[in-house]
Amino acid sequence: MSIKHHEQLKDLSYFKNRQIPCVVREMHDAPSNSVIAMHDHEFSELVIVASGSLNHIHADRTDRLFAGDFFVIHPRERHGYAEFAPGTTVFNLLYHNSDPPFELLSADSPLTSALFPAKSNNVKANTIGRISRRNLANVTTLINAIQKEGKSTRSYSKRICNSLFTAIFFLLARETDHLHASSINPIQKEIDFMAQNIKNKITLSDICAISGRSVCTLSRAFKEATGRSPIDYLISMRIAKAKCLLNKAGITMEKVALETGFCNASHLSTTLRKHASPCHRLQSHDRFLK
């Protein structure tokens, strides 16, 4: 089997509508000796095999994937495909792992850190799990809805796509948590506390008091689970919640700042600028960031 030239897939080639947070691409069966070139992305990719089977080539390993299998590829990870069985269909959900919906940041599932790692190279592209035929049909329906909504020019397309992506996440999480060594997040109690008090001032001491752990032990637990410190993770939750609220018509920056624990609108704007991904810096933030 020959590997063709390496290619990097660019944001601008796929996220032409900057308001849509995820994009769907499909792969279909090809001659059995076909090879889809080794490539990497500037974005993350959730890959779900809807039917058939194929080989996935990543680093020095090749895995045979079947209907219901899914995995995640993050930026700069080289991979490719080969040996498609007749009738194979694969969905590729393209998204940015630096911009998770708030509901997923606070989700009690190991799948959260797989799809939204603190550092892309913390998670490698291994098969995460396989979902049942029934739930695969439900996921396929949601993916088709994202495809349709991505072409829409109507109001609330971004929010609808986020909601559909979130629903896909929870359907996958429901069936795959048991595949991990522990389906219980060791820092879920602390994350729940942050989510419930997101509008309030929260200090590291507050989190330690809820946790019953020392600063060092708590920081180590967060680092191992998320790749971030407790305060950095809290900031990421505030940002995700703020972005969610900013999608609502008629809400002011000052109101969003108060609801998400920022001192004022200026503090929120500065934080959004600081943490914006390269892709999001290309978007117009005139409404929020003047």
pLDDT at residue number 128:
72
Whether residues 105 and 153 fall in one domain: yes
Q: Is residue 2 part of a domain?
A: no
Q: Is residue 1 part of a domain?
A: no
Q: How many CB atoms lie within 10 A of CB 27?
A: 17
The pTM of the whole model exceeds 0.85: no
Both 174 and 212 in one domain: the answer is no
Q: Is residue 150 part of a domain?
A: yes
Cα-Cα-Cα-Cα dihedral sign, residues 244, 245, 246, 248:
positive
Considering the domain architecture, whether residues 137 and 34 belong to the same structural domain is answered as yes
Q: How distant, in Å, are the alpha carbons of 188, 211, 222, 230, 240 from that of 218?
A: 12, 8, 6, 8, 22
Q: Is the dihedral of CA 153, 164, 55, 57 positive or negative?
A: positive
In a domain, 233, yes or no: yes
**Same domain for 116 and 91?**
yes
- End of a domain among 179, 198, 232? 179
Last residue of a domain, one of 120, 152, 179: 179
Strand, coil or helix: what is 36?
strand
Residues 168 and 232 in one domain: no
Q: What is the pLDDT of residues 81-137, one digit of tens each?
A: 887 888 899 999 999 888 787 788 777 777 887 888 765 444 455 557 888 888 999
Are 95 and 46 a contacting pair, CB within 8 Å? yes
Tell me: do 17 and 150 sit in the same domain. Answer: yes
Polymer length of the chain: 290
Residues 227 and 121 in one domain: no
Domain count across the chain: 2
**Which tens digit of pLDDT belongs to each residue from 47-60?**
999 998 888 888 76
Same domain, 175 and 232: no
Q: Name the pLDDT band for 266 (thresholds 50, 70, 90).
A: very high
Cα distance from N-terminal residue to C-terminal residue, the chain: 54
The answer to whether residue 168 sits within a structural domain is yes
> Is 288 within the bounds of a domain?
no
Give the integer Cα–Cα distance in Å for 133 and 50.
Answer: 9
Integer Cα distance of 55 and 252 in angstroms:
50
Query: Is residue 228 located within the same domain as residue 247?
Result: yes
Instruction: Answer yes or no: do 30 and 156 share one domain.
Output: yes
Sign of the Cα pseudo-torsion (107, 110, 115, 116, in order)? positive
pLDDT at 74 over 70: yes
- pLDDT band for 276, please (50, 70, 90 cuts): low
- 119: domain CATH number? 2.60.120.280
Q: Say yes or no: 95 and 129 in one domain.
A: yes
> Is residue 268 very low, low, confident or very high in pLDDT (cuts 50, 70, 90)?
very high
At 136 the pLDDT is 94
pLDDT number for residue 267: 93
Q: Is residue 287 part of a domain?
A: no
- Domain around 137: 7-179
Establish if 289 belongs to a structural domain: no
pLDDT in tens, 12-53: 788 876 667 788 999 887 554 466 778 888 999 999 999 988
SS3 state at 179: helix
CA 192, chain centre distance (Å):
19
Q: Are residues 42 and 164 in the same domain?
A: yes
CATH number at residue 259: 1.10.10.60
- Does the pLDDT value for residue 242 go beyond 50? yes
Domain end point (choices 179, 204, 229): 179
